[in-house]
Amino acid sequence: MADQKRHIVVCSCEDTMPLDTETLRRSCRGAEVTSGRQLCRAELDRFRKLAAGSDPITVACTQESPVFSEIAAEAADPEITFVNIRETAGWSGQAARAAPKMAALLAAGAEPAPDIPFVSFTSEGIVLIYGRDEKAIEIADLLKDHLDVTVMISQPANLPPRRVTDFPVVQGTIRSAKGYLGKFEINVDDYAQPVPSSRATLSFGAPRNAATSHCDIILDLSGGAPLFPASDLREGYLRADPGDPAAILRTALKARDLTGTFDKPRYIDFKDDLCAHSRSRIVGCRRCLDLCPAGAIEPAGNYVAIDPHICAGCGQCAAVCPTGAAGYALPTADTLMRRIRTLLAAYRDAGGSKPVVLFHDETHGIEMIDALARYGEGLPANVLPVAVNEVTQVGLETVAASFAYGASAVRFLLRARPRHDVTGLRRTIDLAEPVLSGLGFGTGRVAAIETDDPDVFGESLTAIEPGEGTRRPASFLPVGGKRDVQRLALRELHRAAPAPVDAIALPAGAPFGAVEINVEGCTLCLACVSACPTGALSADPERPMLKFSEDACVQCGLCMATCPERVISLKPQLDFRAATASARVMKEEEPFHCISCGKAFGVKSTIERVTAKLEGKHWMFKGQAKRLEVLKMCEDCRVVAMTEDSFDPYGAPERPAPRTTEDYLREREDKPQS
């Protein structure tokens, strides 16, 4: 805000909340603050004058945003943003102490919004109504003039035939379904079409299985299990309880409007070259696959593929992705961190202390905050709400940055019954807890509040006992990909920590750690180096050597799964020295020198072990000293020796005849009976 002129418009909302305009001016440097009592009605001309200019405007009101937007559009149409300081700060039992929070919210609201990419759906209105009785046909009658309707009845009984066949009514049971709005594909068993001569009741022809059908919309009134995981998040799939007429009607009205082209955000920015899912058909990282509630992620060779049409935007894949291959785009991790940086810096500059960052979504969270402000005591003065698209999108990098910037506690507001699984967020909390306690911030600094009751929500916030936090808050500017800003945030958190330590043990599945190798069992085959997707394991081109860089390790487990000797194990930990440490030599051996030219090749212990096992024991090398010497030559000399000595691959001693079942039976018969 300091590098451009911005107008901030604040209002006491008819004196229902106190305003400290001097604190706002002092904290929002470079901005002109205009205050009033009823700027949306009696004092609207004051806003109209500001809107006649081209300077950006921040309006501290969201309730009357349509009024202000209309006035701005009629004037010079300046850039305008809206920030809620009434329900989040002014309407509170601690409103007299909320000036620092108001300043922080206004400063953070001026942060530029990122560009959001979109993905499109196209629906021609072909709807399949899947039901079990006449209710499905009744809904079809309501929709037939708006959509291309087909009704499928599972195990129909006593259905009267229609006087005019104005839409198909078929029999069938959906066994599986895939797709999304505009592109559904279903597999049907017991599929049959009605008999035209049906008289008293609708009868059907011979059924068949494995029928396939396509449609744009599925209206599921069957009352059975959902056809999709996290079914309420699947675009174009509408489901209602067949025993609830009101719910059926609401769902039918939604289906009626699903014709045309629709856009939704492309929530995940995926870079497959960073993915550590698998190599050479050996699976390593499965974090995103195990957490996606919508089934939008599938293996695709060495990487995974994320279908943006199915993705519901929970963000758990981005939160747990160890390499940064999956990054959340609404907003990106670095954008969210910059917003928190501005929020906490302005709060501190305005004289606030012990800030608690509250992450909430824009539906349930805003409703809870609004209810608490209108009917309860409101948010405490030190609780700074941060609205995000989904709470589950917040990863370790954002939590670490919050504490590095000066937060004393972090809370996540969840529904009592979340719309989708929140295991990813719980893992983030479980990962942040040992990091914070290990650095001296204490325990219980990060937690979730799971409730739909505003009173319980308010009591949970009041019960927070925030620590002192850091006495030297960081001010770093996060820029870059998720993995980069995560490393930066953790380094800055370590620098600002009350009691920094070099290394902290982490729970299994953490994206940081070391690789441990049983040196005696390692043969330096370097299969782990070929499998490592991040270059954490590397070889030396001059010597048989295995090196490890902990800062690059994401604990994907590919090295452990690939190792033929099974001598590799993972050690999850966060070593703050790894960022500046050089690669550590895990094992090193002497190379074997070619007995012909002296060139170094292979590993000495391996060549000696192989020759010792074959000499005088294997049928190909019995009495064949020259054959054994070839194994001790480099690849060039080996070819020369085989050519000059007319090495006959068929000149070896005759291979023993293979033993058959008859040989074993004959030996058993010849063996004397005991």
Q: What is the DSSP string of 391-460?
A: GGG--HHHHHHHHHTT-SEEEEEE-SS-SS--HHHHHHHHHHHHHHHHTTS-SS-EEEEE-S-HHHHHHH
pLDDT at 483 over 50: yes
Asked if residue 98 is part of any domain, the answer here is no
**626 or 532: which leads in pLDDT:** 532
Over residues 19-43, mean pLDDT: 91
Tell which residue, 649, 565, 560, has the closest CA to residue 606.
Answer: 565
DSSP state of 188: E
* Last residue of one domain, picked from the residues 209, 233, 262: 262
457 & 356 share domain:
yes
628 & 568 share domain:
no
Between CA 306 and CA 314 the distance in angstroms is 13
666 & 573 share domain:
no
Tell which residue, 498, 401, 385, has the closest CA to residue 449.
Answer: 385
272 & 392 share domain:
no
Asked if residue 101 is part of any domain, the answer here is no
Residue 314 contacts residue 390 (beta carbons within 8 Å): yes
Q: In this structure, which amino acid lies at residue 526?
A: L
Asked if residue 110 is part of any domain, the answer here is no
Tokens of 42: 């009696």
Asked if residue 99 is part of any domain, the answer here is no
144 & 251 share domain:
yes
Over residues 506-527, mean pLDDT: 93
Asked if residue 49 is part of any domain, the answer here is yes
- CATH at residue 29: 3.40.50
Domains in the chain, number = 6
What pLDDT, in 10s, does the model give residues 147-190? 999 999 998 888 999 999 999 999 999 999 999 999 999 999 99
242 & 150 share domain:
yes
**What does the pLDDT read at residue 439?**
95
129: confidence class by pLDDT, cuts 50, 70, 90:
very high
1 & 73 share domain:
yes
Give the containing element (helix H, strand E) for 364: helix 364-375
394 & 537 share domain:
no
Tokens of 542: 């001059």
pLDDT at 347 over 60: yes
**What does the pLDDT read at residue 640?**
86
478 & 351 share domain:
yes
* Last residue of one domain, picked from the residues 281, 310, 328: 328
How many other C-beta atoms are found inside a 10 Å radius of the C-beta of residue 43?
15
pLDDT at 222 over 60: yes
* Crossing angle (nearest 10°) for helices 134-143 and 245-256: 40
pLDDT at 4 over 60: no
Coil, helix or strand at residue 537 = strand
- CATH at residue 577: 3.30.70.3270
pLDDT at 607 over 90: no
Between CA 186 and CA 526 the distance in angstroms is 47
Tell which residue, 181, 164, 29, has the closest CA to residue 110.
Answer: 29
**What does the pLDDT read at residue 644?**
74
**What does the pLDDT read at residue 41?**
93
363 & 475 share domain:
yes
**What does the pLDDT read at residue 647?**
63
Coil, helix or strand at residue 349 = helix
Asked if residue 647 is part of any domain, the answer here is yes
Between CA 403 and CA 497 the distance in angstroms is 9
60 & 141 share domain:
no
Over residues 602-620, mean pLDDT: 77
Buried b / exposed e along 362-380 (16+ C-beta atoms within 10 A): eebbbebbbbbbeebbbbb
pLDDT at 2 over 50: no
What pLDDT, in 10s, does the model give residues 312-330? 999 999 999 999 999 999 9
Between CA 181 and CA 236 the distance in angstroms is 4
Determine which of 116-130, 143-157, 427-441, 614-628 has the lowest per-residue pLDDT on average: 614-628
* Last residue of one domain, picked from the residues 328, 350, 372: 328
Between CA 632 and CA 520 the distance in angstroms is 23
Domain around 151: 120-262
What is the rounded (10 degree) CA torsion for 207, 211, 217, 219? Answer: 30
601: confidence class by pLDDT, cuts 50, 70, 90:
confident
Residue 545 contacts residue 587 (beta carbons within 8 Å): yes
Tell which residue, 111, 115, 113, 99, has the closest CA to residue 1.
Answer: 111
Q: How far is CA 607 from CA 600, 622, 624, 625, in A?
A: 12, 18, 17, 15
**What does the pLDDT read at residue 1?**
39
**652 or 128: which leads in pLDDT:** 128
What is the rounded (10 degree) CA torsion for 618, 621, 625, 626? Answer: -140
Percent of the residues in the chain that have a pLDDT greater than 90, as a whole number = 78
Tell which residue, 494, 493, 545, has the closest CA to residue 522.
Answer: 545
HEC profile of 19-53: CCHHHHHHHCCCEEEEEECCCCCCCHHHHHHHHCC
489 & 346 share domain:
yes
- The label of the residue with tokens 């601690």 reads 94
CA 134-139-141 angle, to 5 degrees, is 95
Strands 297-300 and 303-306, how do they pair? antiparallel
Asked if residue 37 is part of any domain, the answer here is yes
Q: How far is CA 385 from CA 89, 135, 257, 276, 666, in A?
A: 9, 45, 35, 35, 84
Q: In this structure, which amino acid lies at residue 211?
A: A
Q: What is the mean pLDDT of the chain?
A: 92
- CATH at residue 189: 3.50.50.60
* For residue 331, cis peptide bond before it (omega within 30 degrees of 0): yes
What pLDDT, in 10s, does the model give residues 46-95? 999 999 988 999 999 999 999 999 999 998 889 999 999 999 999 999 99
Distance of CA 452 to the CA centre of its chain: 25
Asked if residue 22 is part of any domain, the answer here is yes
**What does the pLDDT read at residue 563?**
95
Between CA 327 and CA 579 the distance in angstroms is 22
